[in-house]
């Protein structure tokens, strides 16, 4: 069996493991106050051209999302999100568990637009009984989105303007940020994100680390006492060095970019082959998640040798599925998959 | 100016005030453990034909909703509601502030149906990563709804079946319950509600009391330690007797029914008059809230003499508004309003 | 039976009820935006010599405490309190339910001192792993305390200095404030409280209203969006006018002071009589709560005719109890109690 | 510099790293549903002689404590703990942030006794206004405690009886459990813990893993839907296999015991040497944390070459400090420390 179910099926890139082994018995202080974390922070600040940014390392995505939003929102505020946003659907209500409503807007291919956010804020503040309703206090975006799509530079600038107008914290979840940056459709870069977002993450878990998300915080309000939030949320790793070591290794000489490009290359090879076979897609994704719509008969054969995620039934005979590539994808496996699909669909 | 903005514009029915004065200097224990509360509980159990029910008195609707749902839900569960439900829109995220997601379903005229709830539960429990999503744990209904519409006996029985199937607490918010029971379209009664709901309220605030909601709890799980929830939620009135005295007076000889019928009579007079003038309605409401769609020009004149609530713009020249009648509505005021509308619309 | 168990055994002073009746059928907007509330706010601002203060009216003490502290604290902060403080003991963890630790300091006769608070803050901020601990973010005081004792002007000034030094919100719970102000030991007044506290309450429930606490907010940070907190906490009364009407009547011409003085006079008569009989006290209280230590045999007789609260067993033969006077205490009842105690103890 | 500050200064035992490398590129499902986790669960169930136990793996201690207690407590309940308990002091109020009060009991050398817990419960349930107070709902114990001391079999049985009597969940935090089991004073074993506790942890982070705590859940009530709690709390590691791989390697052939014994041997060598030099201790600890009280002059010299944790000033010239040994302690470093202490104290 070969699995394309997700981008967290394997451990870490071998260089990451090697570096962990190399530094293993060196004694360091705990909780992220070691020299490895310090150096990794320095690299991230440089890559972002943001010498004043605070950088924190957390283990996982749900944790970092919940921690940032807990810090960003006052008790009566909620966070605006696409209805397909990870916080709206797949984090077991972690945001609500910390007291805040997710104000879900209807998305298109995983995306919302600045006009929708603006309208929501305008309606809220224009209502004479606004204090009876949750005030929008932050905007959650993911890019790539949960459906593989990307926000453009222009779109993010428009969100920024809305957030400035209505006093919202702009937070971008970059769990798959590298795959977005490596896409041919990409128009973003780290310095731009550091300017436009109050906070954003550079995901490691899905990009070649054992685990870890780097959080870049630019707004002064969010920086305040942030380590208290991490500790209270259960996100302060005792051996914080493990995150510093991994991020330093991944970012110091472009390994992150290189692995991201690999995943995108393999994803687009698969996409092109499927399109060539006349297969329609649920979403036109330019990143490492591909959502072809395949006949039941084909899937019945395919699942004997390949793992993938089932997304939704499209009609009586077809199902939309998800294939993920990643830093670890073996090109020969994609070759094999394409060959098998050709045969099944031919 | 005459106001039809809401059903809580005045104080209380004079008999309520008189009874409060009569009992004023009698010494009683606090926190609802007095003889007035005890008697009011007895009356409610009798009216509900539910000798085993627990009855609690709380001051207001947001408070009682949040308190019941805090008791009903485990931390990873959410409450299913129409997207127009009061808890979904107009309680400043009180449910989320206590840790729970409101799972909003798209409503029709303020109502949802059992099929929608069933489908939501089926999807949740059928999903292999269901633990990444909020589990439906309770169903919130209001009847009359926020748009004045009513659930029928058959509809509630269907909800009950779904709740049994998927292990949901069924809670009905009866803030305007009396107005529903007094409607010509009503098919419910208190004993039926006590059988079909795990908990429901008999609202007092909008029905002739100074304030107060009576909560009837039938399910054993919800009964457990409920007074701790009330106290923690800030809902335990020191002079709990005030609630007992008011509910006893209102319910002991049918005053509640009589006042409800009055409000419905006046509302339907207004509705019929409007319909007779060819005015369309946002919702066909059989209760004390009426939602006519009126031309801007008419409203510009009307607002000089009458208060009403603005609901939404319907088109370039028309706005849907809300007129409420209540226990306190003066028939001559409705006469005047009808006459003025005739002139303006004629 | 005559009850001295608490100061909320009766309804309200007759003038309060009369004023409610008088205004009963006047139509007003809801949620505290009516003219009665506005006038009551004006009176309070004047009495406090604080024209810039925000004034909110809430129904009960647990509700107002929880609401203020939710607004005052960031998620990782806790509130400092005497270990006998109402929020620390008798509110079913309402503060914790909203996410915050009560940092309890060992009290003396219900009081703490500024040195204790200062030391706690110094230790916290001096600890190198301070982010692993709850940061003190607010100070909760009650005056009179739960044991009837009072803070002096000098003590409050010292607390203010500590709060300024360590950036704590100073909140004073004045559930029985009037009884404190009427005590011969009092050194405070409303303008002083409005200057020294970020927020404080003027309690109504225990002082002659049916219910209600007036919250005076002086700090700009606390004022921000405060009505959202009230609504979310379930504390926004639909017929908010009921609070405005009551507070206006109580405060407009000194009724509040007059009733407070009455209660203190009766309490001190009882205290002096007990002291004259050689009865020791658990606490030397100068206000309306008196805590004599009485022999079991005496209590066995007394409880046939009088209600009181049992506080704690002091030794094999003695129990500390609480007698409360109030605005409603009948002097002849105190006479009778004193006579009976004389006979039992003589 | 040689550091004895804590037991999480290094990475992991080399066998752990080797095993992670060996399994690195094998594809597995995420979120702990892989074969490594499954096998590690099997080993733990066997070691505990608890075939019915549920076993979950979480990354860190604060996270597992908060997650278990969120599942164990109803909203109005609190958790009983020694005032030195980790949840009471060093988790930034994570328990309160999830809504629950920590009911702190005064400890002796880090321990409390069953009588104290019993008395607290008796007082709560005996109080007629018990619903105004937080109900004890769980008992948190750590063994070894934060001060290195141990609970005995008899003590745990007494706690169990109290928990049965008052319906409390008994949870034991075993962050350093191995060091406790390896102590000469130990009277516990895993099967006993699995019988007596509703839940307990077998800590990995401080015992030779990169990170990870294994949670053993025995009570049916706690088992229910537990994975929802893990996900909502941000504790569900995407690559859950990392935890399974590590625990399997550590537990399959006694490496855990062997490393624990090593740490205890080194700690007791240090303890004996210090005692031989007449050094007093803050606590008589039989485990890997030692708390000698040393003169300032000695510490001034010592800190040039050794790291340790400062606990508290004992008198004008002495400070209590903490030296930790661990699985990674180099015996020659302990030799050197002892020699240096001899010289400084001699």
Q: Does B87 touch chain C (CB under 8 A)?
A: no
Helix axes C153-166, C114-126, angle to 10 degrees: 10
Dig out the tokens for D32 from the structure.
């702990």
CA distance A47 to A248: 12
**Closest C-alpha among C109, C278, C259, C294 to residue C179:** C259
The answer to whether C227 contacts chain A (CB < 8 Å) is yes
- Predicted local confidence at residue A61, as pLDDT: 96
pTM (two decimals)? 0.97
Residues in B closer than 8 angstroms to D74, CB to CB, are 225
The answer to whether D238 contacts A91, with C-beta atoms less than 8 Å apart, is no
Peptide bond into C125 cis (omega under 30): no
CB count within 10 Å of CB B254 equals: 11
For residue C36, give how far its alpha carbon lies from the nearest alpha carbon of chain B (Å). Answer: 13
Report the C-alpha dihedral over residues A157, A161, A167, A169, rounded to 10 degrees.
0
For residues D269, D274, D277, D281, the Cα torsion angle rounded to the nearest 10 degrees is -140
Q: Report CA B136 to chain centroid distance, whole Å.
A: 22
The dihedral over CA atoms of A30, A32, A34, A35, expressed in degrees to the nearest 10, equals: 160
CA dist B98 and A105 (Å) reads 23
Does B238 reach chain D within 8 Å, measured CB to CB?
no
The chains found to touch C (3+ Cβ pairs under 8 angstroms) are A, B, D
Chains within contact range of chain D (3+ C-beta pairs < 8 Å): A, B, C
Count of beta carbons in the 10 Å neighbourhood of residue D116: 17
Contacts of D296 (CB under 8 A, 6+ apart): D317, D318, D319
Q: Are the C-beta atoms of C110 and C283 separated by less than 8 Å?
A: yes
- Pairwise CB contact (< 8 Å): C92 & D131: yes
Q: Which two tokens stand for residue A273?
A: 């082959």
Find chain A residues with C-beta within 8 A of C71's C-beta: 75
Q: Quick one: CATH architecture of D14-253?
A: 3-Layer(aba) Sandwich (3.40)
How far apart are alpha carbons B151 and B144 in whole angstroms? Answer: 7
Cis, peptide link before residue B220, omega less than 30° from 0? no
Res D101 pLDDT > 90: yes
The per-residue pLDDT string of chain A (346 residues; one tens digit each, 9 = 90 and over) reads: 999 999 999 999 999 999 999 999 999 999 999 999 999 999 999 999 999 999 999 999 999 999 999 999 999 999 999 999 999 999 999 999 999 999 999 999 999 999 999 999 999 999 888 999 999 999 999 999 999 999 999 999 999 999 999 999 999 999 999 999 999 999 999 999 999 999 999 999 999 999 999 999 999 999 999 999 999 999 999 999 999 999 999 999 999 999 999 999 999 999 999 999 999 999 999 999 999 999 999 999 999 999 999 999 999 999 999 999 999 999 999 999 999 999 999 8
Decide if B94 and C10 are in contact by the 8 Å CB cutoff. Answer: no
What's the rounded Cα separation, in Å, for the pair B11 and D148? 64
Q: Hey, what CATH topology would domain D2-6+256-345 get?
A: 3.90.1150
- The Cα C55–Cα B117 span in angstroms is 43
Distance CA A248, CA A35 (A): 10
pLDDT at residue number C128: 86
Interface of C with B in 293-332 (CB under 8 A): 307, 328
- Shortest CA distance from B76: residue in chain A: A92
pLDDT digits (tens, 9 = 90+) for C50-88: 999 999 999 999 999 999 999 999 999 999 999 999 999
- How far is D342 from D269, CA to CA, in rounded Å? 13
Q: Give pLDDT tens digits for C252-272.
A: 999 999 999 999 999 999 999
Range D305-326 average pLDDT: 97
Encode pLDDT of C234-252 as tens digits.
Answer: 999 999 999 999 999 999 9
Q: Is D93 on the interface with C (CB under 8 A)?
A: yes
State the helix-helix crossing angle for A14-22 and D14-22, rounded to 10 degrees. Answer: 170
Specify the pairing of strand A199-203 against strand A169-173.
Answer: parallel
What is the 8-class DSSP label of residue D281?
Answer: B
C-alpha dist (Å) from residue C224 to A134, C68, C77, C218: 15, 12, 18, 11
Residue D128 pLDDT more than 90? no
A229 inside 8 A of chain C by CB: yes
The Cα C344–Cα C332 span in angstroms is: 18
Q: What digits encode the pLDDT tens for the residues B131-141?
A: 999 999 999 99
Q: In the prediction, which pLDDT does D124 show?
A: 96
Percent of chain B exceeding pLDDT 90 equals: 99
For A303, B128, D188, the CA distances from A298, given in Å and listed in that order, are 9, 22, 57
Q: What is the pLDDT of residue B346?
A: 79
Q: Locate C36 and state its tokens.
A: 């009665």
Instruction: Please give the average per-residue pLDDT across C176-194, as a whole number.
Output: 98
CB B89 within 8 A of CB A133: yes
Confidence of residue D271 (pLDDT cuts 50, 70, 90): very high
Residues whose CB is less than 8 angstroms from the CB of residue A152 and which lie 6 or more positions away in sequence, other chains included: A187, A188
| pLDDT on residue D346 | 79
Can you tell me the distance from the alpha carbon of D34 to that of D14, in angstroms, rounded to the nearest whole number? 23
User: Which chain B residues contact residue A98 at CB under 8 A?
Assistant: 99
Interface check for A131 against chain B (CB to CB < 8 A): the answer is yes
The CA radius of gyration of chain D, in Å to the nearest whole number, is 21
Strands C293-295 and C169-173: unpaired
* Tally of helices (H runs) and strands (E runs) in chain B: 15, 13
Q: Which of B20, B211, B233 sits opposite C234 (nearest CB)?
A: B233
Mean pLDDT of chain D: 97
CB contact under 8 A, C132 and A70: no
pLDDT tens readout for residues D138-192: 999 999 999 999 999 999 999 999 999 999 999 999 999 999 999 999 999 999 9
Task: Determine the Cα–Cα distance for residues C318 and C292; give it in Å rounded to an integer.
Answer: 10
Residue A280: predicted pLDDT: 98
C300 in Cβ contact with C219 (< 8 Å): no
Spatial distance between the Cα atoms of D279 and D297, rounded to a whole number of angstroms: 14
Same fold, D2-6+256-345 and D14-253: no
Q: Closest chain A residue to B133 measured between Cα atoms?
A: A92
What CATH number belongs to A14-254?
3.40.640.10
The reply to whether A279 touches chain B by the CB within 8 Å rule is: no
Q: Where are the domains of chain C?
A: 2-6+256-345, 14-254
Residues 6+ apart with CB under 8 A from C38: C244
Residues of D in contact with C91 (CB under 8 A): 132
Are B134 and A100 within 8 A, CB to CB? no
Question: How far is it, in rounded angstroms, from Cα D62 to Cα D54?
Answer: 20
pLDDT at res. A159: 98
Alpha helices in chain B (DSSP H): 14-22, 35-47, 61-72, 86-89, 94-97, 114-126, 153-166, 177-181, 190-196, 220-223, 226-232, 241-251, 255-276, 296-302, 331-345
Taking the alpha carbons at both ends of chain D, their separation in whole angstroms is 22
B33 CB near a chain C CB, below 8 Å? no
Residue ranges in chain B whose pLDDT is less than 70: none
C78:D96 CB<8 A: yes
Give the pLDDT score at A183: 98
* Cβ–Cβ gap C75/A232 under 8 Å: yes
DSSP reduced 3-state for D271: helix
ipTM for the complex? 0.96
Pairing of strands D102-105, D77-82: parallel
Burial of D315 (0-12, 13-18, 19+ CB in 10 A): exposed
Q: For position C15, what pLDDT does the model report?
A: 98
Report the mean per-residue pLDDT for chain C. Answer: 97
- Residue D92 near chain C (CB below 8 Å): yes
- Put simply, the answer to whether C94 touches B238 (Cβ < 8 Å) is no
Token pair of B198, please?
């795990």
Whether chain A has a CB inside 8 Å of the CB on D6: the answer is yes
């Amino acid at each position: 069996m070969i699995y394309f179910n997700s981008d967290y099926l394997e451990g870490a890139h071998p260089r990451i493991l090697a570096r962990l082994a190399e530094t293993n018995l060196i004694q360091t202080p705990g909780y992220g106050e070691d020299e490895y974390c310090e150096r990794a922070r320095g690299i991230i600040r440089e890559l972002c051209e943001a010498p004043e940014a605070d950088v924190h390392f957390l283990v996982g995505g749900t944790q970092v999302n919940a921690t940032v939003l807990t810090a960003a929102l006052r008790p009566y505020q909620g966070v605006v999100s696409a209805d397909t946003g990870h916080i709206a659907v797949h984090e077991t209500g972690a945001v609500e568990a910390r007291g805040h409503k997710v104000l879900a807007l209807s998305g298109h291919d995983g995306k919302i637009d600045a006009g929708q956010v603006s309208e929501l804020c305008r309606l809220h503040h224009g209502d004479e009984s606004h204090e009876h309703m949750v005030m929008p206090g932050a905007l959650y975006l993911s890019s790539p989105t949960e459906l593989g799509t990307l926000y453009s530079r222009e779109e993010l600038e428009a969100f920024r303007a809305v957030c400035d107008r209505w006093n919202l914290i702009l937070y971008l979840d970059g769990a798959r940020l590298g795959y977005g940056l490596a896409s041919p459709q990409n128009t973003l870069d780290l310095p731009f994100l550091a300017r436009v977002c109050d906070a954003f993450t550079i995901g490691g878990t899905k990009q070649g680390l054992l685990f870890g998300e780097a959080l870049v915080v630019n707004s002064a309000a969010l920086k305040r006492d942030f380590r208290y939030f991490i500790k209270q949320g259960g996100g302060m790793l005792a051996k914080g060095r493990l995150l510093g070591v991994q991020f330093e290794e991944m970012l110091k000489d472009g390994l992150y970019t290189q692995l991201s490009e690999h995943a995108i290359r393999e994803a687009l090879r698969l996409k092109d082959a499927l399109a060539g076979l006349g297969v329609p897609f649920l979403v036109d994704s330019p990143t490492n998640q591909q959502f072809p719509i395949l006949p039941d008969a084909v899937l019945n054969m395919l699942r004997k040798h390949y793992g993938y995620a089932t997304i939704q039934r499209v009609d009586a005979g077809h199902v939309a599925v998800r294939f993920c590539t990643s830093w670890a994808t073996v090109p020969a496996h994609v070759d094999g998959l394409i060959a098998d699909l050709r045969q099944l669909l031919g």
